[in-house]
């Protein structure tokens, strides 16, 4: 027996299909050739020899999209608009980096030790910088079928990546990540599988975890109230890394979420669903 479909049933099914299409579209990572963006290049069919793609002499991340290889290259926030060259096997591929106006932010920090650290604090900051830089700029071979990330916490996301910041009128490096507002203690979850390559209580970043996802894709979690992983741990997507807090140089509890590709900070929003 066939049940006649009602108009309401048909439109519900239609809405479900439209919603599915919207999700599929949101999950796709978009080419974003701008400072702090990710350049995606079609690098040929899967099945033949894996292509050799490099930028600035460093290998590019390669992942499979259907039957094609896609190369993903992180463009430094400091890059000038204009042409950059990516090497695809022996061919030079010119990519036009588009200008992008990042906003300016002026903050007053009451705790002056976070604005003008003393020599002892500067020494500590220098030692921590080496640990962080080594974890951020690291190549580890891994097979990747995608580079999209799950949200590490749900919460209001600031679009503050790339903000040019001034603390008490002193210029500081631009904001290298995304701040996600969440109450203290909210679990922070791994946005994809990886290996923990740094944990520590750092001067500016507070309690911090860094996860290496392979091929130069690295994520960083700062200002945590708790750390639930150890150096060298393997984590799966959704596994708890720690909890949101307000440690380090902060004005209130939030997660600072950093994403690095080839050692360059890129806008996390590019890899997250809407």
Residues that bind Zn ion (CB under 5 A): 179, 256
Instruction: Report how far Cα 192 is from the mean position of its chain's Cα atoms.
Output: 11
Nearer Cβ to Zn ion (157/256): 256
Is the separation of the CB atoms in 203 and 125 below 8 Å? yes
Q: Which is nearer to Zn ion, 33 or 36 (by Cβ)? A: 36
Containing 128, the helix (H) or strand (E) segment is helix 119-136
**Residue written as tokens 């979690």?**
221
- Cβ-closest position to Zn ion: 256
Least CB distance from residue 177 to Zn ion, whole Å? 5
d(CA 13, CA 152): 31
Assigned token pair, 7: 């108009």
Token digits for 110? 């009451």
Confirm if 206 and 248 have CB atoms less than 8 A apart.
Answer: yes
In the complex with Zn ion, the residue whose CB is nearer, 55 or 221, is: 221
In whole angstroms, how large is the CA radius of gyration of the chain? 21
**CA pair distance 209, 132, nearest whole angstrom:** 10
Q: Which is nearer to Zn ion, 79 or 181 (CB)?
A: 181
Q: Please identify, using beta-carbon distances, which residue of 32 and 205 lies nearer to Zn ion.
A: 205
Residue number with CB closer to Zn ion (11 or 251): 251
Greatest extent of the chain over all pairs of C-alpha atoms, in Å:
83
Nearest-approach distance from CB 254 to Zn ion, in angstroms: 7
Nearest of 200, 260, 259 to residue 229 by alpha carbon: 200
d(CA 263, CA 133): 8
Smallest separation (angstroms) from Zn ion to the CB of 218: 16
Least Cα distance to 197 among 216, 179, 184 occurs for 216
Question: Which residue's CB is nearer to Zn ion, number 192 or number 256?
Answer: 256
């Amino acid at each position: 027996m066939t049940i006649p479909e009602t108009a309401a049933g048909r439109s519900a099914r239609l809405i479900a299909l439209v919603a599915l299409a919207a999700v599929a579209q949101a999950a796709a990572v978009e080419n974003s050739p701008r400072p702090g963006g990710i350049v995606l290049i079609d690098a040929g069919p899967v099945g033949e020899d894996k292509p050799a793609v490099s930028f600035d002499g460093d290998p590019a991340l390669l992942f499979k999209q259907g039957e094609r290889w896609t190369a993903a290259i992180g463009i430094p926030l400091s890059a000038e608009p204009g042409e950059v060259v990516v090497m695809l096997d022996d061919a030079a591929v010119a990519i036009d980096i588009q200008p992008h106006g990042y906003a300016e932010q002026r903050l007053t920090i009451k705790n002056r030790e976070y604005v003008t650290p003393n020599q002892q604090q500067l020494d500590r900051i220098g030692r921590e910088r080496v640990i962080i830089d080594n974890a951020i700029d690291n190549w580890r071979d891994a097979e990747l079928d995608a580079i999209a990330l799950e949200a590490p916490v749900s919460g209001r996301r600031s679009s503050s990546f790339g903000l040019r910041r001034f603390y008490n009128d002193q210029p500081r490096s631009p904001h290298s990540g995304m701040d996600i507002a969440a109450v203290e203690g909210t679990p922070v979850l791994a946005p994809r599988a990886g290996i923990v390559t740094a944990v520590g209580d750092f001067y500016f970043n507070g309690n911090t975890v860094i996860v290496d996802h392979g091929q130069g894709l690295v994520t960083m979690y700062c200002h945590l109230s708790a750390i639930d992983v150890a150096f060298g741990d393997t984590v799966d997507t959704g596994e708890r890394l720690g909890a949101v807090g307000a440690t380090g140089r902060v004005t209130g509890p939030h997660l600072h979420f950093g994403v690095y590709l080839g050692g360059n900070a890129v806008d996390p929003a590019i890899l997250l669903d809407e």
